[in-house]
Amino acid sequence: MTACQDDEGTTPSGAQADLLVANNWRTNRVTTVDGQNITVGRLNLATQVLFNLNMQFRSNGTVRALDPNQSNTVVNGGTWTLAPDGKSIDVVVTGFTGNFPIVELNRNKLILRQKAPVDGKDADINLEFIPTL
């Protein structure tokens, strides 16, 4: 297969790892798989908490959750591994563990797919992250 890619599209896995570690990421919104916004009140607590944290993927395979309201104090941490095909990321962090398919990754946006409760029922959702300043 061949495809043309630009800076806004998904990039090869080596470049994807570089993009992940280049920024701290914060949850901007959660949507359905077709892009409809899901209000925070419809999400479970574990997903709601993501809105209050900055995620930092580090080149040594660790990931840290930082609290921007407490001078970016590390409040949680674990590990991450990019799948060999670059299509998903394995994350092991208390409250946020699993294999997350990468829907989109570029320098301005990270979208991960997750199965999580919405209105109390498991649903596929997109977690949309943007770089923090």
Query: Along the chain (133 residues), what's the average pLDDT of each consecutive run of 10 residues?
Result: 38 77 96 96 93 94 94 93 93 90 96 96 97 87
Residue 74: its pLDDT value, please? 93
Q: What is the pTM of this model?
A: 0.86
Residue 14: its pLDDT value, please? 79
Residue 13: its pLDDT value, please? 60
> CB under 8 Å to 37, separation ≥6 — which residues?
29, 30, 31
Q: Specify the length of the chain in residues.
A: 133
